[in-house]
Amino acid sequence: MSRELLAPEGLRVDGRRPPELRRLLTRVGLFAVADGSAYVELGNTKCLAAVYGPKEPRTQSAQLHDRAVINVEYNVASFSSGERKSRTRRDKRLLEIASVIKRTFEPVVMTATFPRSEIDIYIQILQLDGGALHAAINASCLAMIDAGIPMSDYVVACSAGFASGTALLDLNYIEESAETPALTVAMLPKSGKLTMLNMESRLHLDHFKDVLDLATEGCKSLAESLDEAVRKACKTPRPI
Amino acid sequence: MLFSKAYVRKTKRGSVIKVLKEHYLRDDIYCGVPGCQRCPEHTTTLSAEPRQTTAVRSPHYIVPDTNILYHQIDVMEHAAFVDVIVLQTVLEELRHRSLPVYNRVRALTAEPARRFFVFCNEHHRETFVQREPEETPNDRNDRGKPFNRRRPIRRAVEWYSAHIDSKRAVVLITDDRANRAKAKDAGITALSLRQYVESLSGFPELVDMVAAVGGDDDDDMDASAADKKFVYPEHLSPTQISAGLKSGAFHQGVLNISAHNFLEGSSMIRVNNEEVIVQIIGRENLNRGVQGDVVALQILPKSEWRSGVSTVLEEEVVEKDDLEEPTTDAATVDKTLDKALQEPATEQELKPTARIVGIIKRNWRPFCGTIDASSVHAGSTSTQMQSVFFWALDKRIPKIRIRTRQAQSLLGKRIVVAIDAWTKNSRYPAGHYVRTLGEVGDRATETEVLLLEHDVPFAPFSPLVLSFLPEEGEAWVVRDDLHLANREDFRSWDVCSIDPPGCTDIDDALHARLLPNGNYSVGVHIADVSHFVKTDNAMDLEARRRGTTVYLVDKRIDMLPGLLGTNLCSLRSNVDRLAFSCLWEITPDAEVVSTRFTKSVIRSKASLTYDEAQARLDDPKMTDSVSMSIKALNMLAKKLRARRMAAGALTLASPEVRFRMENDSQDPVDVELKELKDTNALVEEFMLLANIYVARKIYECFPECSMLRRHPKPPATNFEDLGKALEPFGVKIDASTSRTLSDSLDAAVDPNDPYFNKLVRIMTTRCMMQAVYFCSGTLAEPDFWHYGLATDIYTHFTSPIRRYADLVVHRLLAASIGYDKTYSSELTDKAKVKEMSDVLNYRNRMAQQASRSSVELYTNLFFKGKTVVEEAYVIRILKNGCSLLIPKYGVESFVYAAPVPNQPPLLALHPTMNALTGAGPDGEVVIKLFDKVRVQVTVEEAGVAAAQRSKLVLRLVEPNVPGMCPVVETSTARPLGGAATTPARTTRPAKKPKRK
Ligand SMILES: [Zn+2]
């Protein structure tokens, strides 16, 4: 039996209405060692990102003469979900997500400013309750800003799914695991351009626009929160 | 406005895992009471002026608790209940406990006229109650009942009482006495359902409908004193059962009561990974198990095992004199009965027996049937409450005790009753009245009963469903500008259809054409139903729910609305119709050279009946293009068939009959067996070919999620009995492959009896497994085998108007050939396809049984007032009787000797042979399997006076066994005597043996 994801009364399993985000909590600049760091909590999904660079590449062969190289390492803590699962660093799935995040940032970061250097992004998912990808992108974005790496705009991501004939914003784990078609979008809020669009299940074309519109709406509202977080972080002195 | 409340809880699912969930509390959930001062304007289904009753003087809304909705859903569904507030807590608990009940409540909340309002108390900031640590939804208390969450329900009612204005009230309905007391302390009005219903005026039947179990309320449980003497063994608790199942002491199985003996059940269980059938015999071992229940079984010691041969025992015969409350006599009768049934077998093979130690899941449904007239107190006034017995139509269901105030008016009516409980000191289960269907014997009522009993959805299509029909209605035509895209135009081809006479839903048409190279172009054109029925719209969902069209003797319950089924999709002659075509190039030797599938437009040149097509086939002078086409098809079909037979396809038989109706009254006037003609075989051959090729195509494109059909090989044990029975005739049945089986069937001929071969085929059919739909991703390829057709892969493609599976296959095929590029994800979802196949298999089985019951109903009508003596064949030997098949009418029934205490049985099982012996006037009479006997057929009707199950009664005429033979009725024999057995009306002079 598939769970009823949206009750006829219009409430989702956790009591949200379809176009509502989960509670968002952000902190910028947690670590002194990293050049930039941020923590994002979306409901029960908790994500930490740290940025090192721009710096000299570890290996000469990896450098590019005209721009900086972005490396992403994405990890999921084995204690992040109810069932303990130890994953190796080489897990295909993790590498795939890392590469998606890398490609999301490449067009936005002004890499040409730092030729022959590299920027490392380390992402750790501490707790998983759905929406890991967009939490990771949002955390990375804050960490990049914290590290002072020039970007043309914020990169804000959000997911939306489709169930019971309605588009649902920011799916949690229960909603994701019910084989709901889910779409994750990363957007540049100022221009409204999309830098990433990720969907791994089938969704009928007729519903696609609704889901996409809802996800971009979610991005816009997240962008405001992130902007606020950055402004607040600028006013408070950083720890040494 | 979002409040977050995260909490931790554990769920058990194999391993213990920690589930972390967010729970948002909100301020924007409103009370639903119109004109509320504290909430903003919002939509609601409640009325502003609810009802007042004698128990609650002020206008009030009702809040039922979970147990009320769970046990008393029949009452809550009654139109008398309006202005009900359903709490989210209650809904969630209900869904955990019973999805069907949950769905019924949801249907009520979705219907604005019923005024059921859902209040999301769990997400409301002021009514949310933190769960107590030990209280989780999966927890059960020691009595096996899930917790009824009382605190949040009371909290919500409290909130309502404070929230709404003083003119209106909110009443909690609960049958839990402790809860009522606590509610009173909190200042809430709380009533039991019975109390509330009694205060309602104008609905006298409601009191009858209140179920006998009301949670902890025991004031309704006054089972009669005599009843208390009867004690069943206690059922074990769920914890004990699950421990026993784990240790292997108990086994889980579904209880199946024998159709001819209400005290004999069987169940398929797994012992050491092998499937074993165990028998459960006698009232005490059955221990309140009802047909279909999932039970925990304990295998009895070997000394109590018995042979697999069963006894015929009918409840209404045995319990006939037991109309009053059961006395102590009944218990002794039971003991003798149990003992007689459990008599140790002779040297025959012993089969394991078991007893029921506990019930894992009840599978009670509402039953159709009648009130036992003799249990109604004659002198009582019409409104006095009394206990009466109810006979379900299903013979496997025990009689049910119900309490009613309308006993007199229910006599002679078909009513629906639900079982509520079966306590250990009650001999019979207790139930409650649900509704009245109509008069016994009234054809419309009986048909409704039949449909209800087989769970066939038969309500007219809803306006929502009909709204998805083409707007043009009857005037819809194929338009070149709209419909020709991606379709091929075959309108000039000589396509024709061949169907039974009177067929209005034509879903297939054929053509054959000689190609210049000497090969034939052959096409099967199937109605393009998927063009009209789009995935997941209301019409599609309704068709999926129905699964198949159900054919009864006198009517058809359509899967699709008539406009589609009999008009727009039906491939009638001389109109343009959309089709899905399967085209082959076939050599004159019937070898397929190439295959192609395409959506098309066709214009059938002729809609022929089998007879008309046969006439064209037989007449060499007919040389028009359609006739030539049929001739070519017939030539090819014969070759295809020969090849299929050589591969081992089976020709089985079933005694199918057709009724000839009197036109105006729809009374059956004659019965004839269906017969097959050449043209039947022609159409069948090409349908098989299309199905096989389509199956290959969709499996190639969607190996994980194709809907296919398979027919498993029957296990060798199925043929054991038949093989033994055929030994004396020198016939061997070898079922190792369909090929060998087919050969042995061909060899099974008795030169003296032409019917013998047919009989063997009928019996073989019963040893077969059911063919089923399945999802290709769930089985290994060798298991796709279709035993009956001897083909490696098969599906259903050719009847999309009347079978939903075909519609699914059409969609898959359309996606395979790239016609439909935007197919829904559901189509390729393995889990969904599997789920759908299971539902369709169930619907098909039910539809088949419904058709059979319909034939039975008409057979009874046909024999009404007739007494016929006919030839019959013995097809099964039982302990005290045998099962007989009458070929002329395709009727099957029993002849048996009812067990009489302290007397030798009139018919008994031969100690060494599989035969019956009895004392005849000229010495011993032996009845063996396949013997031809003569029987007298009458129908015993369910009438007003003897309100029981209507049934066919067979009496042995030849061989003559005194006591088993028809006797001239004396006035004392039966109250209903009547025309049913008047010898004067026999249609054939019968040799009437006199009673000695
Ligand atoms: Zn209000």
Angle between the B804-816 and B830-863 helix axes, to the nearest 10 degrees? 150
pLDDT at A154: 94
Is A165 part of the contact surface with chain B (CB cutoff 8 Å)? no
Query: B417, B452, B487 — which closes off a domain?
Result: B452
In terms of domains, do B511 and B573 share one? yes
Angstrom distance (rounded) from CA A119 to CA B587: 70
How, if at all, do strands B592-609 and B576-586 pair?
antiparallel
Most confident of B280-294, B835-849, B851-865, B917-931: B835-849
Residue B574 lies in a domain: yes
Tell me: the pLDDT tens digits for A71-119?
A: 999 999 888 876 656 566 668 889 999 999 999 999 999 999 999 999 9
Angstrom distance (rounded) from CA A184 to CA A174: 17
In terms of domains, do B293 and B370 share one? no
Torsions phi, psi of B246, nearest 5? -65, -40
In terms of domains, do B398 and B483 share one? no
Handedness of CA B610, B611, B614, B615 (dihedral sign): negative
Angstrom distance (rounded) from CA A133 to CA B394: 57
In terms of domains, do B200 and B328 share one? no
Give the pair of three-digit tokens for residue A137.
Answer: 């992108």
Chain A environment of B831 (Cβ under 8 Å)? 179
Angstrom distance (rounded) from CA B932 to CA B580: 50
B171, B191 Cβ separation under 8 angstroms: yes
Is A15 part of the contact surface with chain B (CB cutoff 8 Å)? yes
Between B22, B120, B122, which is nearest A22 by CB?
B22
Burial class (CB in 10 A: 0-12, 13-18, 19+), B354: buried
Tell me: the pLDDT tens digits for B191-237?
A: 999 889 888 878 878 888 887 664 434 433 444 444 455 678 888 88
Nearest residue on chain A to B823, alpha-carbon basis: A204
Residue B787 lies in a domain: no
Is B15 part of the contact surface with chain A (CB cutoff 8 Å)? yes
Residue B56 lies in a domain: yes
Cα–Cα distance list, B536 to A6, A161, B544 (Å):
17, 18, 9
Q: Rounded to the nearest whole angstrom, what is the distance from the C-alpha of residue B119 to the centroid of ligand 1?
A: 11
**Contact flag A174-B21 (C-beta cutoff 8 Å):** yes
pLDDT at B546: 92
B867, B983 Cβ separation under 8 angstroms: yes
Residue range B377-390: mean pLDDT, rounded: 72
Torsions phi, psi of B318, nearest 5? -65, -40
CA atoms lying within 13 Å on the CB side of residue B714: 19
A&B contacts, CB < 8 Å: 64
pLDDT at B984: 31
What is the torsion angle, in degrees rounded to the nearest 10, for the CA atoms of residue A52, residue A55, residue A59 and residue A64?
110
Question: Coil, helix or strand for B911?
Answer: coil
Tell me: the pLDDT tens digits for B109-121?
A: 988 888 999 999 9
- The distance from CA A194 to its chain's CA centroid, rounded to whole angstroms, is 14
> What residues does A55 pair with on adjacent strands?
A118
Percent of chain B clearing pLDDT 70 (strictly above): 81
Tell me: the pLDDT tens digits for B70-94?
A: 888 888 888 889 999 999 999 988 8
- Greater model confidence, B385 or B462: B462
State the CATH number of the domain containing residue B396.
2.40.50.700
Residue B306 lies in a domain: yes
Closest CA relative to residue B995, chosen from B955, B971, B956, B962: B962
Domain count, chain B: 5
Reported confidence tier of residue B800, pLDDT bands at 50, 70, 90: very high
pLDDT at B755: 80
B880, B899 Cβ separation under 8 angstroms: yes
Q: What is the DSSP letter of B563?
A: I
Query: B361, B379, B396 — which closes off a domain?
Result: B361
In terms of domains, do B596 and B493 share one? yes
Amino acid at position B331, single letter: A
In terms of domains, do B388 and B340 share one? no
Cα-atom radius of gyration of chain B, to the nearest Å? 32
Residue B13 lies in a domain: no
Residue whose entry in the numeric block shows the structure tokens 């027996």: B353
Reported confidence tier of residue B334, pLDDT bands at 50, 70, 90: low
**Contact flag A82-B17 (C-beta cutoff 8 Å):** yes
Q: Rounded to the nearest whole angstrom, what is the distance from the C-alpha of residue B30 to the centroid of ligand 1?
A: 5
Amino acid at position B475, single letter: A
Q: Rounded to the nearest whole angstrom, what is the distance from the C-alpha of residue B665 to the centroid of ligand 1?
A: 60
In terms of domains, do B142 and B246 share one? no
Mutation for A interface: B21, B43, B540, most A CBs within 10 A? B21
**Contact flag A15-B15 (C-beta cutoff 8 Å):** no
What's the gap in Å between the CA of B499 and the closest CA on chain A?
39
B49, B33 Cβ separation under 8 angstroms: no
H helix intervals, B864-913:
none
Q: Rounded to the nearest whole angstrom, what is the distance from the C-alpha of residue A166 to the centroid of ligand 1?
A: 27
Protein residues placing their CB within 5 Å of the ion ligand 1? B 31, 36, 38-39
Closest CA relative to residue A150, chosen from A237, A91, A218, A67: A67
- The distance from CA A199 to its chain's CA centroid, rounded to whole angstroms, is 14
Mean pLDDT of chain B: 80
Is B971 part of the contact surface with chain A (CB cutoff 8 Å)? no
Angstrom distance (rounded) from CA B600 to CA B580: 6
Torsions phi, psi of B470, nearest 5? -55, 140
The helix (run of H) or strand (run of E) holding residue A176 is helix A173-177
Residue B987 lies in a domain: no
Assigned architecture for domain A2-233: 2-Layer Sandwich (3.30)
Chain B environment of A15 (Cβ under 8 Å)? 22-26, 120, 122-123
Q: Rounded to the nearest whole angstrom, what is the distance from the C-alpha of residue B246 to the centroid of ligand 1?
A: 52
The helix (run of H) or strand (run of E) holding residue B177 is helix B177-185
Residue partners of B142: CB distance under 8 A and separation at least 6:
B237
In terms of domains, do B351 and B368 share one? no
ipTM score of complex: 0.89
Closest CA relative to residue A9, chosen from B688, B92, B848, B48: B92
Residue B815 lies in a domain: yes
Angstrom distance (rounded) from CA B266 to CA B535: 41
Domain of residue B623 covers: 463-704+794-846
In terms of domains, do B643 and B697 share one? yes
Closest CA relative to residue B365, chosen from B418, B403, B401: B418
Between B6, B109, B825, which is nearest A44 by CB?
B6
Q: What is the DSSP letter of B902?
A: T
In terms of domains, do B647 and B615 share one? yes
CA angle B632, B635, B641 (to 5 degrees): 135
Question: Coil, helix or strand for B171?
Answer: strand
Kindly report the pTM of this predicted structure. 0.73
Most confident of B139-153, B377-391, B541-555: B541-555
Angstrom distance (rounded) from CA B397 to CA B289: 10
Q: What is the DSSP letter of B232?
A: P
B30, B39 Cβ separation under 8 angstroms: yes
Range with the poorest average pLDDT among A65-74, B109-118, B414-423, B937-946: B937-946
Amino acid at position B883, single letter: S
State the CATH number of the domain containing residue B941.
2.40.50.140
The helix (run of H) or strand (run of E) holding residue B680 is helix B678-701
- The DSSP line for B531-576 is HHS-TTSHHHHHHHHH-B-EE-SS-EE-SS-HIIIIIISS--BTSE
In terms of domains, do B291 and B393 share one? no
Between A1, A8, A204, which is nearest B110 by CB?
A8
Interface of A with B in 85-124 (CB under 8 A): none
In terms of domains, do B603 and B490 share one? yes
pLDDT above 70 (res B768) = yes
What's the gap in Å between the CA of B704 and the closest CA on chain A?
16
Residue whose entry in the numeric block shows the structure tokens 């035993």: B787
Query: B326, B361, B396 — which closes off a domain?
Result: B361
Residue B693 lies in a domain: yes
Angle between the B610-618 and B678-701 helix axes, to the nearest 10 degrees? 110
